[in-house]
Homo-oligomer: A and B are copies of this chain.
């Protein structure tokens, strides 16, 4: 392994340079105008895999293409499927970025750019680990399949079908995904749980066009007021989701988990300061880790209606809309939650407006058991790569495809996050520590090495 670790150190700058080229591409999957950019990002990562001897394919889907890369030259050895995604979140609000989101800059040892950590940087760490193994040893200790998609940020709409249709080709012994985080600086983590997600968009329509609020105000339901009423009724005063049946299937936290989470360091002031809020606010009866990792919740991601410009415009707006996501925990079913949401909103909407729905898709939550195959190797790899014993935690984010990979391919998925919780995934000034990038590469190299040695 020493030659491999040396190779990684020696090529550090080139690795960063190559990552920079990738994150320059604005592959925002939510925006159809960026479809060509998504294609370029796919081609870039395909060429990376190709250049280190992988057999690659750019597989079209109804949406953005899937990049498949295979290096199956280790007969008798396990096959590791490494998943990543080349699409990124929208970059707005652009004016809050210190440097442009797609003009990557290194400051204080961090690479700042949209996609730096989520997920190009973390995905690239695995690719560079594989390069290091191949270039140093001429071969790989395991068989490897890279599955890199371009629709993770829009709930992996087309990957589910792709996996179903390509089950044989994707056959493997374990999945590896680095799309989560360390617990904190110097505290790497192995993640054993993820929340699921259900996306909704609602639109409340009142008058056929904006009306003069003096002439009509007081006699016509105002869609902005109505959407506020609806949203207000989605959660109760105790911070719980008020949709009937929402908590029916929730897997409650185990006593050992609550005990373990209670032992994790937590500095309320530091937490509040880090995100800039006067105080935290969440479901009563649960601590902040529990609220973020293991309790379901509902957030309005965007709300809009009427006049937003400078000054005033005295209208009863014709319509208002909101984008909403619910995070779910294990055992909650996205389809069922979606239906409960729609039924409830319909039941509380007044007859003076029309409400229409757009299903934003979703995915279930995930749990990876402690005794999953190769879990010991994962823990050991993180320990060697990051130089510290990892903590065993859950995370609040969602990786839509984990459940599909587990269920359809019959394997467990190891969740090894290389970034930090304050890397501003999805927000402005997203970053990735270049030290963490290198530690991630080493962790990946160790993991593949240890898997190759496993019985």
Contact = CB atoms under 8 A, between A and B. Distances in A.
Contacts of A280: 219-220, 352
Interface in A198-254: 199, 201, 206-222, 224-225, 227-235, 239
A323 interface: yes
B90 A313 contact: yes
Nearest to A350: B281
Nearest to A314: B325
Interface stretch (A73-81, A270-278, A406-414, A437-445): A270-278
Nearest to A231: B228
Interface in A270-303: 275-283, 288, 291-292, 295-303
A187 interface: no
Nearest to A430: B212
B307 A217 contact: no
A427 B214 contact: no
B215 A312 contact: no
Contact of A425 (B215, B217, B302, B305): B215
Interface in A420-444: 421, 424-429
A317 interface: yes
A302 B181 CA distance: 38
Contacts of A426: 210-213, 313-315
Contact of A297 (B218, B277, B304, B310): B218
A397 B93 CA distance: 36
Copies of this protein in the assembly total: 2
B300 A154 contact: no
A131 to B, nearest CB: 29
Interface stretch (A29-37, A332-340, A381-389): A29-37
B310 A207 contact: no
A121 to B, nearest CB: 15
The residue in A235, A277, A305, A396 that gathers the most chain B C-beta atoms within 10 A of its C-beta is A277
Contacts of A291: 218-219
Interface in A67-119: 89-90, 92-93, 96
A218 B276 contact: no
Contacts of A429: 209
A111 B86 CA distance: 53
Contact of A307 (B230, B323, B397, B398): B323
A401 interface: no
Contact of A312 (B228, B232, B323): B323
Contacts of A58: none
Interface in A318-361: 320, 322-323, 325, 327, 350-354, 360
B427 A352 contact: no
Contacts of A220: 275, 277, 280-282
Contacts of A315: 299, 301, 426-427
A220 B90 CA distance: 22
A166 interface: no
Nearest to A352: B281
A303 B306 contact: yes
A210 B114 CA distance: 13
A45 interface: no
Nearest to A396: B214
A138 interface: no
Given A209-B276, A209-B427, A303-B228, A327 B214 contact: yes
Nearest 7 interchain pairs by C-beta:
A208-B276, A214-B397, A30-B311, A218-B297, A302-B306, A232-B232, A224-B300
Given A181-B215, A217-B396, A221-B281, 11 more contacts: A30-B313, A32-B310, A96-B209, A199-B314, A208-B277, A209-B429, A211-B427, A217-B299, A219-B292, A224-B303, A312-B360
8 contacts: A30-B311, A181-B215, A199-B312, A215-B425, A221-B281, A228-B231, A277-B353, A303-B303
Interface of A: 29-32, 89-90, 92-93, 96, 153-155, 181, 195, 197, 199, 201, 206-222, 224-225, 227-235, 239, 275-283, 288, 291-292, 295-317, 320, 322-323, 325, 327, 350-354, 360, 395-398, 421, 424-429
